[in-house]
Amino acid sequence: MEIKKLKKINDYEWEIPPRGEMRVPGRVFASQDLIEDMDDKVYEQVTNVACLPGIVRASIAMPDAHWGYGFPIGGVAAFDPDEGGIISVGGVGYDISCGVRTLRTGLKREEVLPVLERLVDELFETVPSGVGSEGEIRLSPQKLDEVLVGGARWAVEKGYGEPEDLEYIEEKGCLPGADPSCVSMEAKRRQHRQVGTLGSGNHYLEIQYVAEVYDRKIAEAFGLEKDDVVITIHCGSRALGHQIATDYLQVLAKASRKYGIPIKEKELVCAPIRSPEGEKYFKAMACGVNCALANRQVITHLVREVINAFFKHARVTLLYDVSHNTCKVEVHEIDGKPRRLYVHRKGATRAWGPGRKELPEAYREVGQPVIIGGSMGTASYILAGTEEGEKKAFGSACHGAGRTMSRHQALKRFRGERVIDDLRKRGIIVRAKSKRGAAEEAPEAYKDVTQVIEATCRAGLTRKVVKLLPLGCIKG
């Protein structure tokens, strides 16, 4: 992205001044180096989103932003239904409620290292992964409807987890407003055996350890100490979410024409929040969110079984589960007044600061855990949300490192076997369903996650709490 197109606010905050049909400015949170590495398409997409009806304050891009469908990945925008605000498939993405969940194990690194390879093998065998992967849970469309309404609560009620898990999941494990009648039979058919599966692409299950503690007070509140072993799960709503997005792109394309909403890019199709089409998409999207929360909950149950088979004294507890492809109804203060907004986060993580009543009591004083995954073989981070981030970006942060190469480019440059061998030499055990997938996810295909985290924290959106390094990784 050309830096000369932007107005510098400070070293980590930049503005795209309103022009033409833009209703609000664009806002990019990043260092100059990260901005210069961004595709020009990010600038274009941030600008296009700023033209949408009912947008509030700014069209926002995070430090890991890169080109996406309609919205940039790493894009945030909030819309006011009282001002004709819209809801957009492109603002949520295809993998609805793709997100991350980190589990504490109560184990230390030195306990796990002697059995690491066997542990990774057992997790790889137990948690289904890869394209089209299927689990043991078979659900008829009627039974799947219970999942789409109940989310992680459904999973806990069926014995996949513990009731206290729900306290540490966004929306306490279930997004209200879901209506399975708004989800096509094709979407339900495709999800028949995918609850409790990891999937492919950038999804993973990773054994990590706390390599560095930056903020002892917050780390203590999060129950983390140096050398603690944690397990992070990254996946979403699988085929169901993808099909919902595919179905509603067509619905909202017609709605855009019907309501006379000018569209700059075909994946930016949208409908007024208070239209039949907009309401129907929100209800279907909520089903996708609940499907993803149930999915991660079932995987948590499988992980617990494996860990407890290896370590009888282990106590696997949920640190937090947060999504980064959603549209949520949230109250934010705008010009001194609380307003109920529809906040789209596409490849961006909710990052609420201290004091929000929606947070678990254990975290309310310090802010929400913000879990940021790096690329395969690099560091991940756990951050905490800030009040400043709520004011600047509706309580949002980055979601990962952000790609610098397309999957196609990565395949041309890397071989899966070589990627896995190189990581093994560094002491990281990788099991991948597909060598092609390992090549696509080579660490070098991503930005430097440490630079992204530094920019996110220096912009005031989050605080650094701990750094995690990988021991073993399972990929689709």
Q: Is residue 434 part of a domain?
A: no
Q: How far, in Å, CA of 380 to CA of 112, rounded?
A: 19
242 a known binding residue?
A: no
Closest CA to 320 of 221, 453, 196: 221
Vertex 214: Cα angle to 104 and 97 (nearest 5): 50
Q: Is residue 291 part of a domain?
A: yes
66 a known binding residue?
A: no
Q: Is residue 428 part of a domain?
A: no
Sign (positive or negative) of CA dihedral 334, 338, 342, 344: positive
Strand, helix or coil for residue 440: helix
31 a known binding residue?
A: no
Q: How far, in Å, CA of 386 to CA of 353, rounded?
A: 4
375 a known binding residue?
A: yes
Q: Which of 242, 301, 332, 399 is catalytic?
A: 399
Q: How far, in Å, CA of 302 to CA of 126, rounded?
A: 7
H-helix segments, 160-273:
185-190, 216-221, 238-258
Closest CA to 137 of 125, 119, 120, 155: 155
38 a known binding residue?
A: no
pTM above 0.85, yes or no: yes
Q: Give the alpha-carbon dihedral of 278, 282, 287, 290, to 10 degrees.
A: 170
324 a known binding residue?
A: yes
Vertex 246: Cα angle to 251 and 340 (nearest 5): 65
Q: Is residue 108 part of a domain?
A: yes
Q: Is residue 409 part of a domain?
A: no
Q: Is residue 210 part of a domain?
A: yes
Q: What is the CATH number of the domain that holds 193?
A: 3.90.1860.10
Q: Which amino acid is at 126?
A: T
Residue 184's domain comprises 3-404+446-475
Question: Domains in the chain: how many in total?
Answer: 1
Query: Mean pLDDT of residues grouped by 10 in the chain (476 residues)?
Result: 94 97 98 94 97 98 95 98 98 97 98 98 93 82 93 97 97 97 96 90 94 98 98 96 97 98 93 98 98 97 97 97 97 95 98 96 98 91 98 97 86 90 93 87 88 98 98 91
Q: Is residue 393 part of a domain?
A: yes
CB atoms inside a 10 Å sphere around CB 340: 11
Q: Is 192 assigned a catalytic role?
A: no
CB 414 within 8 A of CB 423: no
48 a known binding residue?
A: no
Q: Is residue 418 part of a domain?
A: no
Tell me what pLDDT residue 434 has.
83
CB 232 within 8 A of CB 269: no
